């Protein structure tokens, strides 16, 4: 009598799904962090920071790619590549202006832009692949380059505040000038109309005037003539 053979186990059973999810999770365990906004000045070097975490050890297969898209829109431009060594762009607007500032031992994939210009305003993307960790998020960094000393931007609120402040300041200045003139006239009038009382005695002796001095000189001359017999 033949014994019944065991039925083959289904590959796609309930146990296979968690294993598949675990495998996918292991492949996607790479995360990148980058600054959302960075401000720089024309001609002054700026660092674009990028850090990553990976469940796999860093090997020579790790790659870092930086791309750029202008603020006004346009095609995506590769500007930097790293794999065991730095490979900055040899053409385009960033030629000879990108240098490596990262440290893979510290999970750092940052770069430096030398002598940024107004044309560098745009969005930068840092992509890291560390096989088998190759799938990850793509954080974007918006770079704003301005001239030093001209970074002030007149917003709508600032414009309204300026329009309200200037007339108010002008009115206050006019009132202060008017009050100053008014008090000055009153003070001058009191000084001009002030008279000493008849009973007041001046503490300082009055100095003889020109008439008194002239009379004294004349009297001295007459006394001299009388003494002379001839």
In this prediction, residue 225 carries a pLDDT of 46
Q: In this structure, are residues 109 and 35 in contact, taking their beta carbons and an 8 Å threshold?
A: no
In this prediction, residue 206 carries a pLDDT of 52
Q: CATH assignment of 27-146? A: 2.60.40.10
For residue 174, give the DSSP letter. Answer: H
In this prediction, residue 61 carries a pLDDT of 94
In this prediction, residue 107 carries a pLDDT of 95
Q: In this structure, are residues 38 and 142 in contact, taking their beta carbons and an 8 Å threshold?
A: yes
Q: How much is the pTM?
A: 0.55
In this prediction, residue 17 carries a pLDDT of 38
212 CB-near residues (< 8 Å, 6+ apart): none
Two tokens at 91?
């053409």
Three-class SS state of 214: helix
For the chain (230 residues), the mean pLDDT of every run of 10, in chain order, is 49 41 50 96 97 93 96 91 94 93 96 96 96 88 89 59 80 81 57 48 52 60 48
In this prediction, residue 104 carries a pLDDT of 94
């Amino acid at each position: 009598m033949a014994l019944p053979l065991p039925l083959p186990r289904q590959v796609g059973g309930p146990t296979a799904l968690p294993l598949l999810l675990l495998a996918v999770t292991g492949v996607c365990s790479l995360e990148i962090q980058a600054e959302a906004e960075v401000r720089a000045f024309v001609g002054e070097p700026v660092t674009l920071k990028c850090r990553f975490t990976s469940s796999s050890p860093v090997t020579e297969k790790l790659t870092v790619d930086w791309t750029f898209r202008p603020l006004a829109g346009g095609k995506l431009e590769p500007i930097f590549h790293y794999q065991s060594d730095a490979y900055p762009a040899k053409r385009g607007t960033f030629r000879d202006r990108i240098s490596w500032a990262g440290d893979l031992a510290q999970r750092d994939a940052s770069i430096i832009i030398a002598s940024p210009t107004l044309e560098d305003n745009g969005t930068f993307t840092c992509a890291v692949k560390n096989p088998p960790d190759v799938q990850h998020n793509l954080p974007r960094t918006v770079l704003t380059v301005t001239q030093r000393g001209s970074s002030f931007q007149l917003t709508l609120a600032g414009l309204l505040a300026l329009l309200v402040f200037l007339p108010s300041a002008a009115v206050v200045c006019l009132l202060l000038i008017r009050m100053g003139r008014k008090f000055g006239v009153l003070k001058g009038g009191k000084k001009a109309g002030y008279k000493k009382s008849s009973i007041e005695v001046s503490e300082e002796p009055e100095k003889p005037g020109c008439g008194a001095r002239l009379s004294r000189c004349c009297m001295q001359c007459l006394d001299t003539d009388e003494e002379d017999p001839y």
